[in-house]
Structure formats: C-alpha cells, structure tokens
Amino acid sequence: MREFISPATQFASLPSSFTMRCGGQLAGGRVGYQRWGRPTPAGDNLILILTGMSASAHVTSHPGDPTPGWWEAMVGPGKPIDTDRWHVICVNALGGCHGSTGPASTRPDGSGAYGLDFPVLSIEDVADASAHVVRTLGFHRLACVIGVSMGAMSALSLLARHPGLASSHISLSGAVHALPFAIAIRSLQRGAICLDADWNGGRYDEERYPDKGMATARKLGVITYRSALEWDGRFGRIRLGADTPFNQESFGLEFEIEAYLDGHARRFVRNYDPNCYLYLSRAIDRFDLGEAYAGDAGQALARLDIDKALVIGVQSDILFPLHQQRQIAEGLRAGGAQVRFLPLDSPQGHDAFLVDIAAFGPPIAAFLASLETTRPLVAPAIGTTSPPRQPVAVSW
C-alpha cells in the first residue's frame, strides 16, 4: 500500500476528530489539494473542482509540477476554465491515494497503513472534507463548484450539506445516484480485486500485489467509460500484427482492442491503490441524494441553494446515462435556479468531458463568463504566468 502524491500538492488538516457519515472517527486526517490563479480581494472568483474516482488534484500543470494534468486542455491561462480570471482549487477526494487520507495512508501513530481498518467512506464524507478545505483557506463563498463523474455526486452532496457555500454549479456526466448497471459493473470490479489471491484480505505489498485483479477492474472500467460506437470507429475487428501471434495456451491477445485495454490497465495497476479503489467504488454505489427525502431526488435537487447551473451529459454515456443529467437539470430548475441543460452527441461516452474539449470547452467558458460580468480582474499568481485579459461578453 502506498500513496501517489504530486509535488505540487498542498494539505489541509481535517478537524482532530473528523466524524464519518457511516460511523467512526478519522483522527489526524488531511486533504490534498492544488490551486492556480489569484483570488480577488473580495474572494468572488473561486472555483472548486471535484474529481472522478481515481483522479488526483493535479488537474493541470503547475509551477510545482509541470507535468500535464488530467484536464490539461480545460484548465489554465486562456483555457475554458481560465486561471487568469479564476482562482481554481482542485481537491483529491478523501479516501483516495493522491494526498488525502485514505486506506493507503499511514496511521497517525505510525503503525502502518490503515488498509481495511479505514472507516467506511461515503460521498458525503468527500463533500464535507472538500468544504473544509475551502473554509480552511479562508473562503466562505464559491463562484462555482464543478463536478465530473463521481465529483458531480460530491458536488451535489456539498451543495446539499453546505447551503450557501456555492452560488453556481457545473455538473458534467453526473447523477443523483448510481443505477443498477453501474452498480453491477463496479461490483464486478471489486470482485476481481478481492478474488485475486495477492489482495490477501487487503494486506498486500509491492512484492505481493493484486496486479491481475486490478488490471481486470480497470479494463471493465475503461469499457464503460467510452462507448461501443467509439470502439467500433477506433479498432473495428483489426487483429494484431504477425509479430504478436495469438497464444492458444493462454488465450492471449489477438485483437487491437484487447491490446489497448491491456496497455491501459498496465499503466494504471501500480499507480493507484487497490483498497482506495474498493472504498471509493463502494461509496459511489451507496450515494443517493434523495435519501433524506424518502428517495425523492427531485425534491432534494429543488432544495439546493444556487442561482445558476450548467448540466452537460452525453448521449453515448452508458455509466451515468443522459436521462440522469436531465434529471439534475430539471430538479435544479424546479428549485428556481437558472439552468442550461446541454445534451451532447459525442461518441466518446462517459469520459467525453476529458477528451472532447471542443464540445465541452465553449459552453463551460461561456457559463463562467456569465458569472463574472461585474468582477474586476487581477494579476495571475499561483500556478499561472500569463498576463490578465479583459473580460469577454459571451452568451451562455
């Protein structure tokens, strides 16, 4: 068990005894985050980004870590989420392994990693820890909270549990709860990890590590993150070349799609902690925004205190289908928020927000521009080097 922390990551200490929603206390916990741009004197240009399950806080390159971030094309000077204009904070989810306390973290007494002794984790815990970071940094109002995939769930939870903390919201490929298909896939992923003998009840190390289970879990995930239409267009039924002969004894790789999934899994396996994968995966399945309202997610959404929202979904998303994003938009609109719902026809499935910047970038930029018409600009600072520009009026 180990953590994978970008050198640009900063840390906010959680309260000495952080109460977890499902019971138990987390002592000596911390949350990893990174930040870019400079806040205005009034602190009215703050954006919080909440991530998908396995993403770090390294959303884009930073003076402390110039390597490309997971959303490099979207965040930075002159980009749709413009760090010349906005002070951007990205938080690593509590329970992850990129700087926030989780199963891979060392216990406060130094007696080794938590492993499966880490308290039961919920999306609500992720939301509470993220809100704590904002307040620890001295801020009390976000111009916008942006959530992607699991982060969209975390953002909805933050809005529900911390009313007044954010004035607007961008939801990308999110949901108020997981549907049976998504739960089934994640159940298979967890099963693949736990059935690997080297998982060893959560007590693995670098020598005995559940490589096969993690690889299978990642392959299952990648299959659902994109769409069948994309797989057809990219790979078809193309077989590997003669230099990669099919191994009849092991029923090894034969098609290019198999090689792609195998390579993707190999890059991931030793760069994310298996127990963290299990904890966050289960937290996604358990989350239900409408739980406090007898399962009525519409009522829960209508009670969220925000002025404006942008909700974007993709027709080809099989993990969080488009109708779930429409449900978010309609619920927020019923509560009086000014909402734009944008269904996109991208072939790239659930992960389209990561790769289809041409489709996602302009509406996000326009929405953010609509929030800043009266706010003065300031010189860029943290994680930003280019000079400020005048605001551009864009209709969203």
Per annotation, catalytic residue among 100, 149, 227, 316? 149
What are residue 88's DSSP bridge partners? 36, 47
| Beta carbons of 368 and 82 less than 8 angstroms apart | yes
| CA end-to-end distance (rounded Å), the chain | 45
386 is catalytic: no
Is position 149 annotated as part of the catalytic site? yes
Catalytic hit among 6, 84, 350, 351: 350
Q: Are 341 and 326 in contact (CB under 8 A)?
A: yes
Catalytic residue, chosen from 125, 273, 317, 351, is 317
Active-site annotation holds for 87: no
User: At residue 230, what is the residue type?
Assistant: E
CA distances from 297 to 169, 303, 304, 340 (A): 17, 10, 11, 19
- Active centre residues (catalytic): 149, 317, 350
